[in-house]
């Protein structure tokens, strides 16, 4: 049984009972609505962290979690270099867009996202390409779009990747908003779709219930609006 837990903003935990957790974009310190503390995360069996891009609302607690749990950190090549050479992380697995790697109990594929590529730590020369990720575990395909605008590339996921659950940003200002996320859902054809990355700071508000209503009206997926402690169990 795989459980995907929403910890608010873009932080999604993939939990497998008796095995442990994969954290995507663990942003806890400074995440105003998250349900977990860093200590609670450190008590878990963290197997891996997967990062979509550098921005602080995605990478933020990664160095500390990685140093304390000795989990593997999986990121695009330049971001992996930054983590190794600037943050001094030991267990880093670099990948890149289009690449897929089987880590034994799970595999990860990086897919394109259209977003900023800077590493805003100005002491570093690194830039990278922002990504979405597909995590495959126990025959489930979990897609986290990262931060992105709508792209026609998402059609490939719908045609070839059999996505069980998709986590899509709906925030308008920095990423696609609700209307484009609806088109993305049509492209990706996930069995379940979860809106994320909205209303954390009031740059502009997005109503996840409006997104869910539109998904249901168009009958393109099963929407789940999650509070920051709720999860979806993939059977």
The footprint of Ni ion (CB under 5 A) covers 55, 147
Residue 25 found at the interface with Mn ion (CB under 5 A): no
Q: How many amino acids of this chain bind Mn ion (CB under 5 A)?
A: 3
Q: Which of 25, 57, 161, 180 binds Mn ion (CB under 5 A)?
A: 57
Residue 180 found at the interface with Mn ion (CB under 5 A): no
- Taking the complex as a whole, the smallest distance from the CB of residue 52 to Ni ion amounts, in Å, to 8
What is the dihedral angle through the alpha carbons of 116, 118, 120, 124, rounded to the nearest 10 degrees? 170
Residue 78 binds which entry of Ni ion, Mn ion, none, CB below 5-8 Å type-dependent: none
Q: Are strands 46-50 and 72-76 parallel, antiparallel or unpaired?
A: parallel
- Taking the complex as a whole, the smallest distance from the CB of residue 9 to Mn ion amounts, in Å, to 7
> Which residues does 56 contact at the CB level (< 8 Å), separation at least 6?
27, 30, 120
- Taking the complex as a whole, the smallest distance from the CB of residue 178 to Mn ion amounts, in Å, to 16
Residue 13 binds which entry of Ni ion, Mn ion, none, CB below 5-8 Å type-dependent: none
> Do the Cβ atoms of 223 and 207 come closer than 8 Å?
no
Which of 147/164 has CB closer to Mn ion? 147
From the list 235, 226, 147, the residue with the least C-alpha distance to 194 is 226
Stretch near Mn ion under the rule CB under 5 A, chosen from 22-30, 32-40, 53-61, 64-72 = 53-61
Residue 61 found at the interface with Mn ion (CB under 5 A): no
| 185 three-class SS | helix
Cα torsion angle, 179, 183, 188, 190, sign: positive
Stretch near Mn ion under the rule CB under 5 A, chosen from 50-58, 125-133, 152-160, 177-185 = 50-58
Count of Cβ atoms closer than 10 Å to residue 32 Cβ: 10
Residue 9 binds which entry of Mn ion, Ni ion, none, CB below 5-8 Å type-dependent: none
Q: Are strands 140-144 and 100-102 parallel, antiparallel or unpaired?
A: unpaired
Q: Which of 13, 61, 78, 147 binds Mn ion (CB under 5 A)?
A: 147
Which of 21/52 has CB closer to Mn ion? 52
Which of 117/187 has CB closer to Ni ion? 117
DSSP 24: E
Burial class (CB in 10 A: 0-12, 13-18, 19+), 217: exposed
Summarize as ranges the residues that interact with Mn ion (CB under 5 A): 55, 57, 147
């Amino acid at each position: 049984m795989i459980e995907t837990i929403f910890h608010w903003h873009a932080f999604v935990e993939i939990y497998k009972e008796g095995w442990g957790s994969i954290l995507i974009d663990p942003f806890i310190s400074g995440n105003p609505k998250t349900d977990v503390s860093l200590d609670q995360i450190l008590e878990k069996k963290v197997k891996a962290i997967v990062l979509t891009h550098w921005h602080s609302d995605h990478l933020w607690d990664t160095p500390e979690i990685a140093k304390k749990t000795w989990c593997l950190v999986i990121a695009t090549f330049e971001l992996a270099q930054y983590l190794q050479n600037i943050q001094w992380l030991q267990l880093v697995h670099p990948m890149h867009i289009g690449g897929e790697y089987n880590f034994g109990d799970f595999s990860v594929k990086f897919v394109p996202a259209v977003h900023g590529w800077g590493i805003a730590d100005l002491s570093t020369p690194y830039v990278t390409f922002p990504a979405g990720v597909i995590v495959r575990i126990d025959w489930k395909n979990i897609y986290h779009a990262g931060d992105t605008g709508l792209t026609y590339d998402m059609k490939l996921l719908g045609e070839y990747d059999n996505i069980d659950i998709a986590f899509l940003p709906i925030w308008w200002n920095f990423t696609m908003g609700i209307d484009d996320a609806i088109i993305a859902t049509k492209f990706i054809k996930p069995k379940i779709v979860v809106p994320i990355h909205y209303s954390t700071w009031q740059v502009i508000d997005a109503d996840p219930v409006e997104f869910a209503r539109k998904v249901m009206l168009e009958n393109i997926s099963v929407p789940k609006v999650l509070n920051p402690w709720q999860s979806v169990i993939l059977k």
